[in-house]
Amino acid sequence: MNVRRLIPTATIAGAVALGLVALSACSSSDASGGAGSDGKLAVTASFYPMQYLAQQIGGDHVDVSTLTKPGVEPHDLELKPRQTAQLGEADVIVYLKGIQPSVDKAIAQSGVENTVDAASLTKLEKHGTEVGHAHEGGEHGHEAEGGDEASGLNGADPHIWLDPVKYAEVAKGVGASLSQADPDHAATYKKNTAALVKKLDALNSEFRQGLADTGTKTFITTHAAFGYLAERYGLEQEAIAGIDPEAEPSPARVKELETIAKRDKVSTVFFETLASDKTAKTLAGDSGLKTDVLDPLEGITDKSKGDDYLQVMRSNLTALQKALGAK
């Protein structure tokens, strides 16, 4: 492995001033490049979907930390000095460019050689209401999802992890990157990648079979995060307020959704665990519809219907089958 690069003096000084001496995910005294605590590869993930891949593929040979803690809406993350320093200490960074602008900026300034951008590992697409929307007033990071060329997404939908097929493509790229950063354990990373891809292939089959015959193909959700999932399984996603789960929909959009619900026999309005359910419940109440959770899996909390990606995705499948009238 390459010899670990030295941490800039300014970074260490700033950390000490904040009383954050134990900053890194790996031991600062370890000079054997690519080794975190206990000699493991130090991997920093930007948010849960990237963290899950790193943990599943890296196994016992990696020490994975995440910048987005449970319960934090990833798009709105603002990095603290400790987290910026953590980035500088990483052997490998796994992230998705464009979904968290503050993270993208910090990574560009970190000097870390081994960075893995999930958006570059599969083909991104544009999905209806996902395009051209931003926070009102241009706030927060969702603005980058709606066509900000500086984000690198150019209006593309970043929620690739909600399609098991695309997520498997990303997994393969992450596995190859870990092998390159830590060739001594490349065989293990290759084996773990293959095992994860097999699980994702099985999940894809479950969704395809479970949603093949339904009473309706349309579902309503607060967050336009499910474009890839809808496209993969022949469904139609209708978002209340585009990409911003907290935004209030316009009266025209509410009326339009009420019309769509009647026309397409929609039974359920979906909300999510990391955002308010107020808008979804208001729309459901006014339209005589039910509510349920469809989790965009941007983070796992005690409110999540499962302990990891696979469990929550299967809970999503169950919710969709019930709402769509699967036969």
Residues 6+ away with beta carbon under 8 Å from 302: none
Q: What is the pLDDT of residue 295?
A: 95
Mean confidence (pLDDT) of the chain:
82
Q: What is the pLDDT of residue 256?
A: 92
| Bridge partners for 288 per DSSP | none
**Interatomic CA distance for residues 16 and 18, integer angstroms:** 5
Write out pLDDT tens, residues 53-67: 999 999 999 999 999
Q: 9-204 and 211-324: same fold?
A: yes
Q: What is the pLDDT of residue 38?
A: 80
* Cβ atoms of 243 and 133 closer than 8 Å: yes
CA 327 to chain centre: 30
CA 118 to chain centre: 10
Q: What H or E segment, with its residue span, contains residue 254?
A: helix 251-263
- 246 has a pLDDT exceeding 60: no
- 29 has a pLDDT exceeding 90: no
Q: What is the pLDDT of residue 322?
A: 97
Question: Quick one: three-class SS letters along 167-232?
Answer: HHHHHHHHHHHHHHHCHHHHHHHHHHHHHHHHHHHHHHHHHHHHCCCECCCEEEECCCCCHHHHHH
Q: What is the pLDDT of residue 13?
A: 44
**pLDDT category of residue 36 using cuts at 50, 70 and 90:** low
CATH superfamily of 9-204: Nitrogenase molybdenum iron protein domain (3.40.50.1980)
Q: What is the pLDDT of residue 223?
A: 80
- 10 has a pLDDT exceeding 80: no
**Interatomic CA distance for residues 68 and 225, integer angstroms:** 18
Residue 263 buriedness (CB in 10 A; 0-12 / 13-18 / 19+): exposed
36: its two tokens: 């975190």
Domain ranges of the chain: 9-204, 211-324
- 166 has a pLDDT exceeding 50: yes
Q: What is the pLDDT of residue 15?
A: 41
* Cβ atoms of 65 and 45 closer than 8 Å: yes
Looking only at the bridges linking them, the beta strands covering 92-95 and 41-45 are parallel
- 183 has a pLDDT exceeding 80: yes
Lowest model confidence (mean pLDDT) among 13-27, 83-97, 186-200, 248-262: 13-27
Tell me the mean pLDDT in the region 183-196.
Answer: 98
Q: What is the pLDDT of residue 133?
A: 33
Q: What is the pLDDT of residue 243?
A: 54
Write out pLDDT tens, residues 272-314: 887 778 888 888 888 899 999 999 999 999 999 999 999 999 9
296: its two tokens: 């965009």
pTM of the predicted protein model:
0.82
Share of the chain above pLDDT 90, in %: 61
Q: What is the pLDDT of residue 128?
A: 56
Tell me the mean pLDDT in the region 118-143.
Answer: 58
**Interatomic CA distance for residues 242 and 249, integer angstroms:** 9
DSSP letter string over 75-96? GG----HHHHHHHHH-SEEEE-
May I ask the CATH class of domain 211-324? Answer: alpha beta
What is the b/e burial string over 114-131, where b = at least 16 CB atoms within 10 angstroms of the residue's CB?
bbbbbbebbebbebbbbb
Give the neighbor-by-neighbor strand order of the sheet with 268-271.
236-239, 218-221, 268-271, 290-293
More confident residue, 316 or 8: 316
